Amino acid sequence: MKRTDVFWDAPAEALDRERLRALQLHRLRSTLERVLCSPFYQARLGEAGISPGDIRSPEDIRKLPLTTKQDLRNQYPYGLLCTTKDKLVRLHVSSGTTGQATAVFYSRHDVDHWADLLARCMYMTGARPGDTFQNLTGYGLFTGGLGFHYGAERLGLLTIPSGAGNSRRQIQLMRDFSTTVMHIIPSYALRLMDIMTEMGLDPRKELSLRIAYLGAEPYSEEVRRRVEEFYGIDVYNSYGLSEMNGPGVAFECPWKTGMHIWEDAYWVEVLDPETLAPVPEGTLGELVLTTLNRDAMPILRYRTKDLTRLLPGECPCGRAHVRLDRIQGRSDDMFIIKGVNIFPVQVEQVLMNIAEVGNNYVIILRRENNVDEMIVKVEVTDRIFVEDMRHLQRVQKKIAHDLKGELLLTPRIELVEPNGLPRSEGKAVRLVDERKI
């Protein structure tokens, strides 16, 4: 028996696959009608010789052209808009992590639907009216702030729009208003741990936190574990991108076995980034998404560049929506050194398993006399920094040894005192490739 009280929107979450498919086909067709209002898609579909009538099953989506971030940049600001300006109520731009930003527009329907999606996500993890929700992410153009904010209000949580930074004040707010649920990017969750440790504060005893949503940048299972243990909470992975509204695209349920991607709102494909052919379920590839319920700026087959896989099987929670594995990173995050392909998160995974390693690190790639070198700067914990040189050397050796096991090459390890590495205001910068400077 499915328990409907665990669903925020039971008709949308717990429907069977067949009904979900029918809904998707219906929404896909109306999306196609809608995109024809934008000059960009009019031209694209014209070139491809496709009209909405050609879509007879959701899989026919493969006949449609892909959309890239570069398309969005070229069409900046209004090229993908499918409505008149008087119907718009919001504008966001992506963080610009990988180049020039792109603009996304929302109608009243879009902001409403987006708030519903986030309310659905938070409800799924057990957040309920009566909870205090603190949103420790940047407000403003970044979608993480307002996206979660309106979702939390929709759900009926007491919402504290504390924004990012000003950590002592954040902690004060958590204490004064007994915050139970927080949204925070992983690198800031780690930073806040250091600050609480410096203050001698034990969040398990002195705060009321129960749940945290971590997302907006790649992080490893090991970071989740550290954060859960330190704060004494459940961490849920949260995925989204501005081009698809923002957060609320995919989210973990209490089973924490991958993130349910809301298939009533997004059509999901995972493609081989080279050949662009679909990869089998369970195989790593590039996530490609189509909006199914967007009004102002629908997007067809958007190449996210995010690498992940679809997980096979049904989730015990009873939601029909397929699950995505943890995002490994963007294809742009991968770097090649001495012929080895590496994602920063692979390095993180090894580091965060070593007790003496602190909560921050950076990877530097350098070329000297035509030889590439990988340097990993690692903050160590307070406790070991005051200890003797021999212990530090042992730690250094252990890190190099464990990284070699994962990466098959031995980077140079530099240990740094706690808080010795620079922190970025928003998403963490984990890689500095000096070979490109």
Options 23, 28, 253, 300; binder of Zn ion; rule CB under 5 A = 253
Complex with ligand ADP: residue 138 or 411, whichever CB lies closer? 138
- For the bound state, the minimum distance from the C-beta of residue 266 to Zn ion, rounded and expressed in Å, comes to 17
Task: Please report, to the nearest 10 degrees, the dihedral formed by the alpha carbons of residues 32, 34, 38, 39 taken in order.
Answer: 50
Q: Toward Zn ion, which CB reaches closer, 13 or 348?
A: 13
Residues 189-218 as x/- pattern, contact with ligand ADP by CB under 6 A: --------------------------xxxx
**Near Zn ion in 276-295, by CB under 5 A:** none
Q: Is 365 in the site for Zn ion (CB under 5 A)?
A: no
Q: Does 223 bind ligand ADP (CB under 6 A)?
A: no
Q: Which is nearer to ligand ADP, 144 or 411 (CB)?
A: 144
Nearer to ligand ADP, 155 or 214 (CB): 214
Query: Out of Zn ion, ligand ADP, none, which partner does residue 215 contact, by CB within 5 to 8 A per kind?
Result: ligand ADP
For the beta sheet containing 431-433, the strands, ordered from the edge strand earlier in sequence to the opposite edge, are 412-416, 371-380, 357-368, 431-433
SS3 state at 202: coil
What gap in Å lies between CA 285 and CA 288, rounded to an integer?
Answer: 9
237 binds ligand ADP per the rule CB under 6 A: yes
- Please, which residue, 20 or 224, has the CB nearer to ligand ADP? 224
Q: Give per-residue burial for 43-74: e unless 16+ CB within 10 Å, then b.
A: ebbeeeebeeeebeebeebeebebbebebbee
- Residue 113 CB: number of other CB atoms within 10 A? 17
Cis amide prior to 77 (ω within 30 degrees): yes
d(CA 8, CA 22): 21
Q: How far apart are CA 337 and CA 207, in angstroms?
A: 44
Could you tell me the smallest distance in angstroms from the CB atom of residue 262 to Zn ion? 12
Q: Which is nearer to ligand ADP, 329 or 418 (CB)?
A: 329
* Site string (282-321) toward ligand ADP, x via CB under 6 A: ----------------------x-x---------------
Q: Which of 95, 135, 349, 360 binds ligand ADP (CB under 6 A)?
A: 95
Does 242 bind ligand ADP (CB under 6 A)? Our answer is yes
The stretch among 94-102, 154-162, 275-283, 310-318 that binds ligand ADP (CB under 6 A) is 94-102
Question: Within its chain, how far is the Cα of 200 from the centroid?
Answer: 31
Instruction: Determine the interface stretch with ligand ADP among 45-53, 89-97, 170-178, 274-282 (rule: CB under 6 A).
Output: 89-97
- Is residue 94 a contact residue for ligand ADP (CB under 6 A)? yes
Residue selected from 11, 46, 77, 96 as contacting ligand ADP according to rule CB under 6 A: 96
Q: Of these partners, Zn ion, ligand ADP, none, which one is at the site of residue 374 (CB under 5 to 8 Å by kind)?
A: none
What distance in Å separates the CA atoms of residue 365 and residue 207, rounded to the nearest whole number?
Answer: 40
Q: How far is CA 119 from the centre of its chain?
A: 17
Q: Contact between 330 and ligand ADP (CB under 6 A)?
A: yes
Q: Distance between CA 364 and CA 46 in Å, rounded?
A: 46
Partner whose binding site includes residue 238, from ligand ADP, Zn ion, none (CB under 5 to 8 Å by kind): ligand ADP
Task: Identify which of 423, 37, 104, 67 has the alpha carbon closest to the alpha carbon of residue 240.
Answer: 104
**253 contact, one of ligand ADP, Zn ion, none, CB 5-8 Å limit per kind:** Zn ion
Establish if 315 lies at the interface with Zn ion (CB under 5 A): yes
**Is the CB of residue 131 less than 8 Å from the CB of residue 158?**
yes
Q: Select the span of 117-125, 126-134, 146-154, 237-245 touching ligand ADP (CB under 6 A).
A: 237-245
Q: Judge contact between 285 and 271, C-beta under 8 A.
A: yes
Q: Which residue, among 257, 251, 211, 255, has the nearest Cα to 231 in the 3D structure? A: 211
42 vs 37, 49, 275, 322, CA distance in Å? Answer: 7, 10, 26, 31
Least distance (Å) between residue 161 CB and ligand ADP: 18
Binding residue (CB under 5 A) for Zn ion from 32, 146, 317, 357:
317
- CB count within 10 Å of CB 8 equals 19
Q: What angle separates helix 344-351 from helix 389-407, to the nearest 10 degrees? A: 140
Amino acid identity of 402?
Answer: D
Check binding of 121 to Zn ion (CB under 5 A).
no
Site for ligand ADP in 120-179 (CB under 6 A): 142-143
Minimum distance from residue 211 beta carbon to Zn ion (Å):
16
User: Nearest to residue 254, comparing CAs of 147, 74, 125?
Assistant: 125
Q: By three-state DSSP, how is residue 316 classified?
A: coil
Q: How far is the CB of 20 from ligand ADP (least distance, A)?
A: 23
Q: Which residues bind ligand ADP (CB under 6 A)?
A: 94-97, 142-143, 215-218, 237-242, 304, 306, 327, 330
Q: Which residues bind Zn ion (CB under 5 A)?
A: 253, 255, 315, 317, 319
